[in-house]
Amino acid sequence: MKTLLQVALLLLCFQFRSTGQLANFNGTAEALQTSMYNTFGVPNQNYWWCAHGVDALLDGYTRTRSETYKTRMKSLLLGIRSFNGNTYINHFYDDMEWLGIAALRAYHETGDADYYNVATTLWNDIKGGYTNGAIDWNKGCAGCKNACANAPAVILAARIYRFTNAAADLQYATNIFAFMKANLVDPVTGAVWDAINLNTGVTNKDWIFSYNVGTFIAAGWELYKVTGDVNYLNDAVKTANYAMNSRRTNGMFFADETGGGDGGLFKGIFIRYLSELAREGNIPAATRAGYKEAIRFNAQTLKTNGINPSTNLVGANWSQQPSGSTDYATQLSGVMVIEAAATLDQSYFYKDVNYGGSYWGLTAGSYNTAALTAKGISNNDITAFAIPEGYQVTLFKNDNFQGGSLVVSGNSAWIGTAWNDSVSSLIVNYTAGATFYKDCNYTGAVISLPAGDYTLTQLQARGILNDDVSSVKVSSGYQVVLYENDNFSGTTVTTRTDLSCLVSQTFNDKTTSVRITATGAAPAALTTAQTAPAGKHTFQGLSLYPNPAGNTLYLKTPDNLTGATVTVFDITGRARITGRLTANNISVSGLPAGVYWMTVVKDGKKITLSFVK
């Protein structure tokens, strides 16, 4: 029998054990972040580079929750104001937008009101550059409508709207997006042109930069999140597919962008926003998987070929080590792609329906209530989830993996009545293939692979070195064959069970190629959350009618709902109706057509049901 101390230590190990991309890129991300700080410290110039510096440090903070990153973020924020004349207001609208985006995200992650104040101060000034449906590039060029000043403005306006609920902020976002789509986006391919000068009527279609492509993707995605209009999501996917199909050379995005300086930042910005789209639950799984694999390939190429091993500095060409010095912008770009790759196989959990509201990514591991809280997830606050292929999650009603449980995989825009806001602990497992460890007893560097055939080149692309596997975990329903030579030749070891140390098979550090096949014996996880029978914490037999609803929606239940608190959410997770019931019905005449969720709470009982208007 384990002592309480042993149990606590075991839980701690579970909480911080990870597999897959985080394990592959976590060390590299930390090394690049450390090198960036040691080399550049808190810069005293280049406003827009430093704005992205705040964003990159925030990537490190969300990955580690380390106070070190919070301290560095705040120092950089204050440093920007100091070298900018003791103000955050700038001549260039795009520069202010970058900092506004980073500051608002920092406020969301840390709760520090200083960041929110910076974001709103900047947004109020940025709106002064709005004319003819779009934002000017700077305060000295009226009519210069550059993509770099408008797609970020949409991102910032849409995110500000989530906090202010001010219709004017959303109107700015939709107007600017419409201007861009009409004037700066190729209607056939989805490519994003650099600028249009309204004074001359000339559109610069020759310059198609990665960061403009990335921010337009994000602009469409953000508007979809706040409006529920799928056309915005389709626009984002169209532009992302342009990059996937037309701007990759030997797998590398925008391989022609190899300069430093301002251009050194471009690809990192693109990757940041493509990675956000890659976790959107409402696009096809195959599309998401394609985006993730492309990002992983670029990150792995940089990790393998593009980092100076003695300095951990990167070059503008991610396929080769820098030959000379590296500037801050170029290092930031490298940090961004590695940080993005570290999140690719995380399972995401959402506060609101339809993947709305706050969201949090978790790697494989076990998380009790304290561990979830440390990651920013409050107790009983999960409403939707998006779990990548090859993973499954076990949800628990109570802390420390106790109480009712439910195994889920795939995506669910709503977790279901019985589980909505009812998760207190959970376990994320990799289930679709095998996990390979550098050292015996499942320790050291770790990489998870789905079913497939892997030559040495393919293993190295995934982060597994030649002759460097010492232990293996095999998911239920899979078989692994380890080969001593490349291309599936030489001596083999075949297993359907875990092997804690390949010394026992005289095969330690001998793996050069691998085959992983499904045997068909694995139990299937549920692809969506299921509704459990009603109990003492929910309402017996409550239903809504008519559904679709007219002007009045009726609640049918044996319970007396008078005095119950009722909230109606739209598809974005925004509360549209809030109040108390005076009878078992509610007026929905003011709602536009759409899909809605209603939450009813009374006397400790709670239920959420969906309806169509």
Predicted confidence (pLDDT) at residue 450 exceeds the cutoff of 90: no
Question: Model-level pTM?
Answer: 0.73
* Cα-trace Rg, the chain: 25
Could you tell me which of 191, 283, 195 has the C-alpha nearest to residue 237?
Answer: 283
Residue linked to tokens 């500037």: 327
Predicted confidence (pLDDT) at residue 520 exceeds the cutoff of 70: no
Predicted confidence (pLDDT) at residue 439 exceeds the cutoff of 50: yes
In Å, what is the CA distance from 15 to each residue of 102, 335, 369, 375? 29, 25, 11, 11
| Interval 148-184: pLDDT, tens | 999 999 999 999 998 898 999 999 999 999 999 999 9
As a whole number of angstroms, the distance between CA 127 and CA 130 comes to 5
Would you call 573 exposed, middle or buried from its count of C-beta atoms within 10 A (0-12, 13-18, 19+)? buried
Alpha helices in 199-358 (DSSP H): 210-227, 230-246, 266-277, 285-305, 328-341
Is residue 273 a contact partner of residue 158, using CB atoms and an 8 Å limit? no
Give residue 330's pLDDT: 96
Predicted confidence (pLDDT) at residue 65 exceeds the cutoff of 70: yes
Could you tell me which of 130, 7, 112 has the C-alpha nearest to residue 69?
Answer: 112
Close Cβ partners of 211 (under 8 Å, ≥ 6 residues apart): 148, 265, 266, 267, 269, 270
Sketch out the chain's domains with CATH numbers. 21-344 (1.50.10.20), 348-430 (2.60.20.10), 433-518 (2.60.20.10), 543-612 (2.60.40.10)
CA dihedral sign of residues 77, 83, 84, 86: positive
Predicted confidence (pLDDT) at residue 17 exceeds the cutoff of 50: no
| Interval 225-282: pLDDT, tens | 888 889 999 999 999 999 999 999 999 999 999 888 999 999 999 999 999 999 887 8
Which helix (H) or strand (E) is 369 found in, with range?
A: helix 369-374
As a whole number of angstroms, the distance between CA 288 and CA 244 comes to 12
CA dihedral sign of residues 274, 278, 283, 287: positive
CA dihedral sign of residues 440, 444, 445, 447: positive
Helix (H, G, I), strand (E, B) or coil at 569: strand
As a whole number of angstroms, the distance between CA 468 and CA 266 comes to 35
State both tokens at 266: 């471009």
Could you tell me which of 187, 298, 190 has the C-alpha nearest to residue 241?
Answer: 190
State both tokens at 280: 């959107």
As a whole number of angstroms, the distance between CA 474 and CA 425 comes to 25
Segments of 452-537 assigned E as strands: 452-454, 471-474, 478-485, 489-495, 513-518
Confidence of residue 524 (pLDDT cuts 50, 70, 90): very low
Predicted confidence (pLDDT) at residue 336 exceeds the cutoff of 90: yes
As a whole number of angstroms, the distance between CA 11 and CA 425 comes to 12
Give residue 41's pLDDT: 95
As a whole number of angstroms, the distance between CA 366 and CA 430 comes to 12
Confidence of residue 573 (pLDDT cuts 50, 70, 90): low
Give residue 176's pLDDT: 98
Confidence of residue 10 (pLDDT cuts 50, 70, 90): very low
Is residue 210 a contact partner of residue 254, using CB atoms and an 8 Å limit? yes
Predicted confidence (pLDDT) at residue 15 exceeds the cutoff of 50: no
Helix (H, G, I), strand (E, B) or coil at 33: helix
Find how far residue 415's CA is from the centre of its chain. 19
Strand 252-253 vs strand 248-249: parallel, antiparallel, or unpaired?
antiparallel
Is residue 577 a contact partner of residue 557, using CB atoms and an 8 Å limit? no
| Interval 346-363: pLDDT, tens | 888 988 887 877 788 888
Strand 313-314 vs strand 365-367: parallel, antiparallel, or unpaired?
unpaired
526 in the Ramachandran plot: left (φ > 0), alpha (ψ -120 to 50) or beta? beta
Residue linked to tokens 């014996």: 521
Give residue 538's pLDDT: 56
- 55-59, 296-300, 573-577: which has the minimum mean pLDDT? 573-577
Between 480 and 286, residue with greater pLDDT: 480
Confidence of residue 20 (pLDDT cuts 50, 70, 90): low
Predicted confidence (pLDDT) at residue 521 exceeds the cutoff of 50: no
Predicted confidence (pLDDT) at residue 537 exceeds the cutoff of 70: no
